[in-house]
Amino acid sequence: MPLPRQETNVEPIAKFAIGSTLFYANNDQVTFGEANDLYGMYRRQTPYRVTRDRAQNILTEDNVLILNRLRAADSTATFAWTMHEDTARICGYLCHRATANFRGRTWTVWWTEEIPIDAGPWKLHGLPGLILRASDSKRMHQMEATGVRKPLLPHIVRSRAGYRKVSRAFLAKETEECALNYEERVQHRGFIQREKRTNKRRFYSPYEDE
């Protein structure tokens, strides 16, 4: 039996050049299932996502590694931002520069007080306005908003079940192992091994070094 459709205050805030979408909720009643539905509306499904509980200031990482659905809470992701006088326009909004050291990298972000929402791509947050551009000191990650929109969306609430709760360190290690030793992990999980092993590593570019 299908669940009834429900109106929520979840809005897609910004579309980033890396292919990700940032959503913002005006209340604390949004479930992971609701966020999952929104991802399906705006882009192809992605196994990795970060959700932030603004009331408790806890971030949650979800990832699917070889059909293994893992979920890790991150309550220590805080940023001590240093403000700078530089300004730039991104998507038509006046933005200010800020920098912070976080787990082995220095992040430079551009945020706008014209959208007074404490949010940003990935785990980046903690500023008086929405972060529209971000890059790390190792030049591995560069994210910039390519569009901003705010429609209200009705959607179906789905179950949040099926994820195994793990530590942040465990999730990071599993992500690395599945990227660098993918075929060995596939064989270990009991899947049929391909006739010819290629030993190719999968894409792996972590955001954190600590």
Which segments in the chain show pLDDT lower than 50? Answer: 1-13, 17-18, 44, 154-159
133 vs 130: CA distance, rounded Å:
9
The pLDDT value recorded for residue 86 is 93
**Token pair belonging to 108:** 């430079």
The predicted structure's pLDDT at residue 5: 35
**How many alpha carbons fall within 13 Å on the CB side of residue 46?**
15
pLDDT in tens, 118-154: 989 999 999 999 999 999 988 888 889 888 876 555 4
Among candidates 10, 56, 2, which has minimal Cα distance to 32? 10
Q: Which H or E element spans position 40?
A: helix 32-42
The DSSP code sequence of 95-136 is EEEEEEEETTEEEEEEEETTS-----STT---SSSEEEEEEE
Q: Which two tokens stand for residue 192?
A: 């049929």
**Rg of the chain, C-alpha, whole Å:** 18
pTM of the model: 0.70
What pLDDT score was predicted for residue 31?
61
Determine the pLDDT at residue 155: 46
